[in-house]
Chains A and B, each alone.
Chain A
Amino acid sequence: MNTWFIHLPFLVVGILIAIGLYTVLFKNNLIKMIMGIALIQNGVNLFLISLAYRKDGVAPIWTSAPDEFMVMPTPHALTLTSIVIGLATTALLLSFVMMIKKHYGTIEADKVRRCRE
């Protein structure tokens, strides 16, 4: 097995987290930074889901299931929890940005920093 070979879902996870990290580090707009945080969250969720997959498994629901061999259900449950928490924190961050826009009149990060001094 070649150790430098990256399977495709893990590569997609890496690219998603890298795009999110780039957006958080190099963009000046606060809403774009929140988009970067959401991208990192989605990358982590996709990583958990791709760890849960078993080859030729079906969804872990017994109602009229086509097969008895199923993927692992625990990471799905934890990812469901993580999605809702990500939604709530994104809403809280966006309301903070609305407050900043009201008080400082801008949502560019360096201008807000200059206004505060």
Chain B
Amino acid sequence: MNWKMSRVVRTVADVMVVPIIIFGVYLIIHGHLTPGGGFQGGAVIASSTALLIIAYGSFGKHKDSLSSLESTGLTLFILLAFLGIGYTVFYNFLASGGAVFGGSVHYGINPGRLDSGGTVPLMNIMVGLEVAAALSLILWMMAKGSDSMDVEEVKG
């Protein structure tokens, strides 16, 4: 995809990319309170990448940066899982008392509190980073691959 779409499509894409990314980040960081989480928010952020690829074509070289983001997310997720190894793997050692996300909620129906959950919001952020980078990398590599396939068809 080396072509660009028209100016209307490019302008609408420029305007819409930022709200889409903000909505994805909102879904990720409120994943322990409302419907949503790392997977859904990451998929929403990757949809903004799809919008950019449709509007502008697969420009630039982003493969190394995206794959390093993905590896960073996965590595931090595994590290956070193994930090609770004193009890079990995936032990929630930050819940109700830790410094980060250490608040507590009452049993039953409550209005919700962002400062609660222990390691669960942190793992949501890591998985959201990994899924967003992975799906963006898949979309970008497939756009690049279709580009080289068009060249092959014209020449051969």
Interface positions of A (Cβ within 8 A of B): 59, 61-65, 68, 80, 83-84, 87-88, 91, 94-95, 98, 101-102
Contact = CB atoms under 8 A, between A and B. Distances in A.
Contact of A94 (B37, B112, B135, B142): B142
B111 A95 contact: no
A91 B137 CA distance: 11
- Ranked nearest first, the 7 interchain pairs of A and B with the lowest CB-CB distance are A63-B112, A91-B138, A65-B109, A63-B33, A98-B145, A102-B149, A84-B39
10 contacts: A61-B33, A62-B112, A63-B111, A64-B111, A80-B39, A83-B39, A84-B131, A91-B138, A98-B146, A101-B149
A59 B142 contact: no
Contact of A63 (B110, B135, B152): B110
A61 B142 contact: no
Interface of B: 33-35, 37, 39, 105, 108-112, 131, 134-135, 138, 141-142, 145-146, 149, 152
A70 to B, nearest CB: 11
Residue in A61, A80, A84 with the greatest tally of chain B CB atoms within 10 Å: A84
Contacts of B152: 102
Nearest to B134: A88
Residue in B34, B35, B109, B112 with the greatest tally of chain A CB atoms within 10 Å: B109
B112 A64 contact: yes
Nearest to A103: B152
Nearest to B40: A80
Nearest to B127: A84
Contact of B142 (A83, A98, A101): A98
Nearest to A66: B109
Contacts of B110: 62-64
A57 to B, nearest CB: 14
Contact of A95 (B105, B109, B145): B145
A98 B149 contact: yes
Given A101-B149, A102-B152, A64 B109 contact: yes
A94 B138 CA distance: 11
